[in-house]
């Protein structure tokens, strides 16, 4: 992957202890950014920060997206650590182990938990980091949605609905924050080979491979370039957009 320059950018990535978020952290560090990894998986997050320390300046901070006070604390600590914030990647979400149920089989507790973290948590993260992004000028927010919300994946209604909400919030936030010099965009990855998708049945993997314009499995590194572009100065006049990154499984 060609590295987009993020030289001296100060970036916070939630959900970066593993999977896609870790890949974004690796790519951002390779591009010259200073990075704060934030995750609820404290031991895994610290391990990831240690493993990536040879690439550049990186640290770990705990965050629980179900807890508004935890999100506020993250924003305060990250700004102190980095001396300001230039970019926020909202990658953290509940995705693992919730699929496979029809809409009438999903329990209310699980629905509420998914919405609390994936939707409210994303909104509260944007809210908490907006003052720092506004001060920095030319700030970037990248929300990680999912192409499941574009094609209406079955047996995953709560997750699909949460990512559809993230897409809609991205467009509204772009209009609200545009005159503050903050660009807000979203990406919609397809089914990617990461730890969080190991539970996905083989037939769903096969459906993606066979349905893509590029007939192969999607790897985490396939998504990095889009996020790095949206964090970089090259995307200064791009906002409110949804960029599917799925090998042509769904066209926008």
The alpha-helical segments, DSSP class H, found in 103-242 are: 108-115, 121-136, 148-151, 157-177, 202-211, 221-231
Q: Using the 8-state DSSP alphabet, how is residue 211 labeled? A: H
Q: Which residues are catalytic?
A: 159
Parallel/antiparallel/unpaired status of strands 87-90 and 140-144: parallel
Count, in order, helices (H) and strands (E) of the chain: 9, 7
CA pair distance 65, 49, nearest whole angstrom: 19
The 3-class SS string of 134-153 reads HHHCCCEEEEECCCHHHHCC
**196-201 contacts: CB < 8 A, separation 24 or more?**
196/18, 196/19, 196/95, 196/96, 197/95, 197/96, 199/96, 199/97, 199/99, 200/99, 201/100
CA pair distance 27, 29, nearest whole angstrom: 5
> Which residues make Cβ contacts (< 8 Å) with residue 46, sequence separation at least 6?
60
* β-sheet bridge partners, residue 183: 140
Instruction: Find the distance separating the first CA and the last CA of the chain, reported in whole Å.
Output: 23
């Amino acid at each position: 992957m060609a590295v987009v320059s993020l030289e001296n950018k100060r970036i916070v990535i939630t959900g970066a202890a593993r999977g896609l978020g870790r890949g974004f952290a690796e790519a951002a560090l390779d591009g010259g950014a200073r990075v704060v990894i934030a995750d609820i998986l404290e031991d895994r997050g610290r391990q990831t920060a240690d493993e990536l320390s040879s690439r550049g300046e990186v640290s770990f901070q705990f965050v629980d997206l179900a807890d508004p006070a935890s999100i506020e604390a993250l924003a305060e600590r990250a700004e102190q650590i980095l001396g300001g914030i230039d970019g926020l990647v909202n990658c953290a979400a509940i995705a693992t182990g919730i699929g496979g149920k029809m809409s009438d089989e999903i329990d209310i507790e699980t629905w509420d938990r998914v919405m609390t973290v994936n939707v409210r948590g994303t909104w509260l993260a944007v809210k908490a980091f907006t003052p720092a992004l506004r001060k920095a000028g030319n700030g970037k927010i990248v929300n990680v949605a999912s192409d499941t919300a574009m094609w209406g994946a079955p047996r995953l209604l709560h997750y699909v609905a949460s990512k559809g909400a993230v897409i809609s919030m991205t467009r509204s936030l772009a209009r609200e924050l545009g005159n503050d010099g903050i660009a807000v965009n979203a990406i919609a990855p397809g089914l990617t080979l990461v730890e969080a998708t190991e539970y996905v049945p083989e037939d769903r993997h096969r459906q993606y491979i066979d349905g893509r314009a590029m007939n192969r499995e999607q790897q985490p590194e396939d998504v990095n370039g889009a996020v790095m572009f949206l964090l970089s100065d090259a995307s200064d006049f791009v906002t409110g957009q949804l960029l599917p990154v799925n090998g042509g499984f769904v066209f926008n």
